[in-house]
Structure 1
Amino acid sequence: MRPAHRFATASFAALSLALAAGAALAAPSPAPIIPVPAELTPGRGALAVRSGAVISVPAGDAAALFAARLLAGQVKQTRGLDLVAQEGGAGIIVLIRDPSVSAAEGYVLTVTPKGARIAAKDDAGLLYGAMTLAQLLSPDAAFGRPVKVPALTVRDQPRFAWRGIMVDVARHFQPAESLKPLIDAMAAHKMNVLHLHLSDDQGWRVEIKRYPKLTEIGAWRTPPTAGEAPSAQPYGGFYTQDQIRDLVAYARERSVTIVPEIDLPGHAQAAVAAYPEIGVFGDRPPVSVDWGVNPYLFDVDQPSLTFIEGVLDELMDLFPSTYIHVGGDEAIKDQWQSSPAVQARMRELGLKNEHEMQSWFIEHLGQYLASHGRRLIGWDEILEGGLPTSASVMSWRGEQGAIDAANAGHDVVLSPAPTLYLDSLQSNRADEPPGRLSIVTLKDVYAYEPMPKGIASDKAGHVLGAQANAWTEYLVTPSQVRHAIFPRLDAVSEITWSPKDRRDWSGFLNRLDIQRLRYARQGINAADGAFAINFALDGGRGAALRSGQATLALSTQTGFGQIRYTLDGKTPTGRSALYGKPLKVPVGTTVRAAAFAADGRPTAEPQSFDLGRNALLTRSNTELTACPKGALGLRVPLTSEAQADAPAFNVNLFDTCAMYPAAPLDLAGGFEVKVARVPRHYGLAADTDKVRWHYNATRFGELVVRAGGCEGTVVATFPLPDPATADNRLKFQGALPSGTGDSDLCLLFTAPLSGPFYAVEALALTPRSSN
């Protein structure tokens, strides 16, 4: 059988009608469905749908009526048509129960010139069939116009049962209302698990009535400033139990299960800050402001276990999900190793080491959950020390954890970093929000295969599915979180729902082009980095300046669309010059470009590349590179809780050093460097000794500028001001000695490790005088 997506493209193209001028109906091409259905068979003719069309459902079927209303709402939002959902009667669109549709969550959608019929045996199937039809009813850029849906039959069902996304609401709190648009998008894409990371060192986000201090104290932290002094305003928030119940009900109506996570035995600092007696040593730390790995653990004595069981009782009351996530990741065992009481407990239990202690701890909680009809799932560290018999594994440190657990008979969810970590940047563009600098493109996510090769064929049934994760150490606002998730969520939906042999990158991009129009109409700020223009200057800046001519290559990450450009400063349109090969243009030109879809729409905001002399002599933060002995690993905001429009900087946590590569020193007589001071608040645990210390000759350190790399000649040294009194954005200017050709400029900060660290915001070379 031919792959359904190719069949769909061909059939829809064949069925596209050449409508007469002024005709009211627009014909779609190709089938704009994400995720691509398991099977699509074309029919003859097309169904015309206009405002006022009726969607009918059986009388008394509340779930079918909800799916019909959701269909009407989606079409109103994305196409501008007013459909009417009603119980009983004859509608042009009908939703019915059909026990012959045997697959759970499956559906059959039949479209003929006389009407559309969605059949399923369960609520989820009706909903997913309705969401497929909603996409067929918004197939192009037209809005407010009737639409013709080519006749077809879709028989569809999911490949995997777990099709999820995790949102970390512990590091940066995301209001409940901000999660509802994500749930709507999940339903539209047939995704069914929203995993909420509700606790961590930096915050406790769910109300537990028997332990009120978890939110009175544990939900709030006092972030540092760039001078390391505490902020005047605490940061935090939490969900009341009523808010959780409302969110769970909202998700359930859309066939989305919310899986709660309370992280333990590690990542426990916020909980221990609220109730020190559940910690190992009984001391009360502050709620952490340090990202990364912190040392606080839950104790393993009975009072601590009783406390956790009380928390689980209330979680189970709030969340009806089968699975309860207990974390288990990054629990460094220093406190257990140093505690005589914990060591005595280990001897009493006959445990050889702290890994076995964690395994016992997790097994105890797994049995407790099982006694209440629930199942435990945790990150793959719960494999260390022996996997408890009751546990399922979410594998994030690659795939090996999932392979080992599945082959041992345990259910698993694939969630490997970095591929399915959506806090990784989507491109290296300067307008990317904060996040991890390991670039994970849309194509990287789409190419991921959730069934690892190392799992035995008779154990494949233990693979529940896959999940993407949006961690929020650096994603502060709901807008930033949505930017990170969309449109990579589309790729996640297709790799978890669609049959493997139905997936096709080119076809996906065509369908995603239409989906991005829907996002715009829904107010979802989906990232456009995969479709925006990237510029590559051939031969370097120095060569261009010396010759007076530049060769500039234009591309997009996905290759989707036709690139068009202008050289006169005007915004490019679908009729601008078509890019075919690298442009050879004089220095001083500004090239503006965008890629365009087949109908003449730009696929992203137009981008510019300034080839003026001053611009070529300047490098922004994102155009700098790491020093030879380090690596830029994070993109961080100016302040810990900076909002979406605040600047962000690429940094190396382990060495505050950056490089201006191939600086044309023969053309430069001086420089101006803009510097940003940012908080140093990272829990590095065992990696602390990897941080490089540089001797500071003055109290607060210096900025040292070297030509010829980091071992080259010192050309300038600037003492850094007192962080407590100086602004956190600084400027330094200096002269450069005469040089020849291109040479790396190294910018090294020697600030003490006990204080903040510094990033280069931009380095501009000033032209050498011709006199």
Structure 2
Amino acid sequence: MPLLPLVPLPASVEAPDAVPFRIDASTVIEGEADATAALSAVVATRTGLTPNPTAGDRTVVFRLAPGGAAESYRITVDEASVTATAPDRAGLFYAAQTLGQLITRDGDGWMIPAVTLEDAPRFAYRGVMLDVARHFHPLETVKAFVDRAAALKLNVLHLHLSDDQGWRVQLASRPRLTEVASSGAVGGDPGGFYTKADYAEIVAYAASRHMTVVPEFDMPGHTHAVGLAYPELAEDPVLSTHIEEIASTYGGELPTPGVAYTGMAVGFSSLKTRDEATYDFVADVFGELAGMTPGPYLHFGGDESLATEDEDFGVFVDRVSRIIADLGKTPIAWHEAGSRTIDDSTVGQYWGFVVPTGGMDDKARAFVRNGARVILSPADAVYLDMKYDDDAQIGLTWANGPTSIERAYAWEPSAVIDGIDESDILGVEAPLWTETVRTLADIDLLAFPRIAAAAEAAWSPADGRDWASFRERIGGLAPLWEAQGIGFWRSPQIDWSAG
């Protein structure tokens, strides 16, 4: 019997050889509103049917019930009914996504196979990141990405809102950031920004899919755009042979003070870390962002600050992490900040390789020594912007070359950094940087199916994960993804005819 096309893999599945639950126009879907709406949308997209909410003898019911871990759920399917219970609305929403994956053709009709399923997440933080700074992505694209991620039980949307190429969210306290510094993008493409209303809409839309928005203003590096708006806060670019090589390989001019940057190099910019005006700026932008963001986290970057002196970098990340903590938020920083004195609550995000190099693992361990936890984003496993193979038209290869779907799946979170236990890991996040990504079609091509591998690493029990099983299960999702208009990459490692 083929494996059920469930991704991420549930904690427990029993599929008896019994009569399935058949779906037609008389099927009733009722109960908790978010879950009911989610499954109704999948049914309509996958089958073309519009379930009747009032008449019919076969019923799908979503019901809150006490007991169980946060976001957990239980599903029972037989010939007469489908029952999904959970202790919270998120669990019911995820039950709806699981049922959506189970919808299968049954001759000329549709059915959900008989099954008893219990499920709960491995990690509390299950994220994707979308870089809207290198290339700006409009509101509708962000919403579509939220829908795609939430369907795989990912619950965090990390938005990379500023970089050398542009600043992407409107702030009343510092209006020149979007008036002056938002128009650029890699390759000279159009820029853009989100108004405060747009940002609020993203936050609300994500919340309706049980996703938390984690906004990032990256600093003290990756800040050339800040210097366009407030030149008194920025150091002149520090050029290197590496930056010149990037410009030669990928095109674009070298960074110049006061001129919008459209290239792909990193590590040349820095804020003036010894100037008190810089910390006034930090207090303004994160203070306003905190008021706009109901979630618990604010990300301040701290990566690739190659143009900032070591001592100055240490002073900067210490002060900024404390500014954010004093706002009542939990700071997040890339792992480089772990080597410095920072607020003890700061969560570290590790972007080194699955086999750590250059002491990156020790910097990540520093967050744990402070009593905080880490998010794992190993670049050679879960960076969604890497090419699948050398022939891919978009994507990059700096993270140990192309990242196949098998390599994206094969890593184990608890085995990456010695000395970091399961309890020290807040979760897993799959970033999508957008130097080569211009459209939703580009996002789909690079993210799918690797985003599903990241989702399984974040959700599923470690002892149940298996590459051969994943290959079969992911192949079975092709019809659903096609119906949803997701232009996924048909990896030759997967038998897509299984669906």
With normalisation by structure 2, the TM-score equals 0.88
Q: Give the aligned partner of residue 320 of structure 1.
A: 294
One-letter code aligned to 1:220: S
Q: Give the aligned partner of residue 71 of structure 1.
A: 39
Answer yes or no: is the 8 Å Cα contact 1:194–1:259 preserved in 2: yes
Indicate which of 203, 207, 225 corresponds to 2:166. 203
Q: Give the aligned partner of residue 249 of structure 2.
A: none
- Mapped to 2, the partners of 1:186 and 1:174 lie a distance apart of 16
Q: Give the aligned partner of residue 432 of structure 1.
A: 393
- Mapped to 2, the partners of 1:82 and 1:277 lie a distance apart of 59
One-letter code aligned to 1:443: E
Higher CA-based Rg: 1
Q: Give the aligned partner of residue 178 of structure 1.
A: 141
Q: Give the aligned partner of residue 64 of structure 2.
A: 97
Q: CA deviation at 1:463?
A: 0.2
- Mapped to 2, the partners of 1:525 and 1:151 lie a distance apart of 30
Q: Give the aligned partner of residue 597 of structure 1.
A: 497
Indicate which of 251, 264, 273 corresponds to 2:206. 251
More helix per residue: 2
- Mapped to 2, the partners of 1:460 and 1:160 lie a distance apart of 9
- Mapped to 2, the partners of 1:327 and 1:378 lie a distance apart of 5
Q: Does 1:391 align with 2:346?
A: yes
Answer yes or no: is the 8 Å Cα contact 2:346–2:367 preserved in 1: no
- Equivalent pairs: percent with the same residue? 34
Q: CA deviation at 1:243?
A: 0.9
Instruction: After superposing the two structures, state which structure 1 stretch, 200-209 or 398-407, moved more.
Output: 398-407
3-state DSSP of counterpart to 1:220: coil
3-state DSSP of counterpart to 2:171: coil
- Mapped to 2, the partners of 1:223 and 1:376 lie a distance apart of 28
Answer yes or no: is the 8 Å Cα contact 2:472–2:498 preserved in 1: no
Q: Does 1:364 align with 2:319?
A: yes
Answer yes or no: is the 8 Å Cα contact 1:359–1:388 preserved in 2: no
Q: CA deviation at 1:281?
A: 6.8
Q: CA deviation at 1:387?
A: 4.5
Cα 1:372–1:385 shift into 2, 3 Å: closer
Q: Does 1:468 align with 2:430?
A: yes
Answer yes or no: is the 8 Å Cα contact 2:267–2:307 preserved in 1: no
Q: Give the aligned partner of residue 41 of structure 1.
A: 14
Residue-by-residue CA offset, 1:429-462 (whole Å, 9 max, x unaligned) = 3x532433621000111111111364447x4312
Q: Give the aligned partner of residue 503 of structure 1.
A: 465
Summarize the alignment of residues 394-413 of structure 1 with structure 2, pairs less than 5 Å apart: 394-398=349-353, 399=356, 400=361, 401-413=363-375
- Mapped to 2, the partners of 1:332 and 1:180 lie a distance apart of 34
Q: Give the aligned partner of residue 3 of structure 2.
A: 30
Which blocks of at least 5 consecutive residues in structure 2 are unaligned? Answer: 238-255
- Mapped to 2, the partners of 1:290 and 1:382 lie a distance apart of 25
Residue-by-residue CA offset, 1:399-438 (whole Å, 9 max, x unaligned) = 5143443355321001112222121101223x53243362
Cα 1:85–1:426 shift into 2, 3 Å: farther
- Mapped to 2, the partners of 1:393 and 1:179 lie a distance apart of 25
Indicate which of 225, 229, 233 corresponds to 1:274. 229
Aligned residues: 470
Answer yes or no: is the 8 Å Cα contact 2:322–2:343 preserved in 1: no
Answer yes or no: is the 8 Å Cα contact 1:377–1:394 preserved in 2: yes
Summarize the alignment of residues 128-527 of structure 1 with structure 2, pairs less than 5 Å apart: 128-137=94-103, 139=104, 145-221=108-184, 235-280=190-235, 285-300=258-273, 301-333=275-307, 354-398=309-353, 399=356, 400=361, 401-429=363-391, 432-436=393-397, 438-452=401-415, 454-456=417-419, 459-527=421-489
Q: CA deviation at 1:223?
A: 6.8
- Mapped to 2, the partners of 1:445 and 1:212 lie a distance apart of 41
Q: Give the aligned partner of residue 675 of structure 1.
A: none
3-state DSSP of counterpart to 2:291: helix
3-state DSSP of counterpart to 1:597: helix
Question: RCO higher in 1 or 2 (8 Å CA, sep ≥ 6)?
Answer: 2
One-letter code aligned to 1:177: E
Instruction: After superposing the two structures, state which structure 1 stretch, 278-287 or 479-488, moved more.
Output: 278-287
- Mapped to 1, the partners of 2:56 and 2:44 lie a distance apart of 22
Q: Give the aligned partner of residue 61 of structure 1.
A: none
Q: CA deviation at 1:177?
A: 0.4
3-state DSSP of counterpart to 1:174: coil
Answer yes or no: is the 8 Å Cα contact 2:43–2:50 preserved in 1: yes
Q: Give the aligned partner of residue 613 of structure 1.
A: none
- Mapped to 2, the partners of 1:454 and 1:381 lie a distance apart of 15
Answer yes or no: is the 8 Å Cα contact 1:40–1:155 preserved in 2: yes
- Mapped to 1, the partners of 2:53 and 2:172 lie a distance apart of 41
- Mapped to 1, the partners of 2:111 and 2:263 lie a distance apart of 55
Q: CA deviation at 1:265?
A: 0.7
With normalisation by structure 1, the TM-score equals 0.58
- Mapped to 1, the partners of 2:132 and 2:376 lie a distance apart of 21
Answer yes or no: is the 8 Å Cα contact 2:135–2:435 preserved in 1: yes
One-letter code aligned to 2:30: S
3-state DSSP of counterpart to 2:306: coil
- Mapped to 1, the partners of 2:37 and 2:426 lie a distance apart of 30
Q: CA deviation at 1:85?
A: 4.7
Q: Does 1:125 align with 2:125?
A: no
Answer yes or no: is the 8 Å Cα contact 1:407–1:455 preserved in 2: no
Q: CA deviation at 1:284?
A: 5.1
Residue-by-residue CA offset, 1:228-278 (whole Å, 9 max, x unaligned) = xxx7xx731111111111111111010111111100011111011101122
Q: Give the aligned partner of residue 52 of structure 1.
A: 26
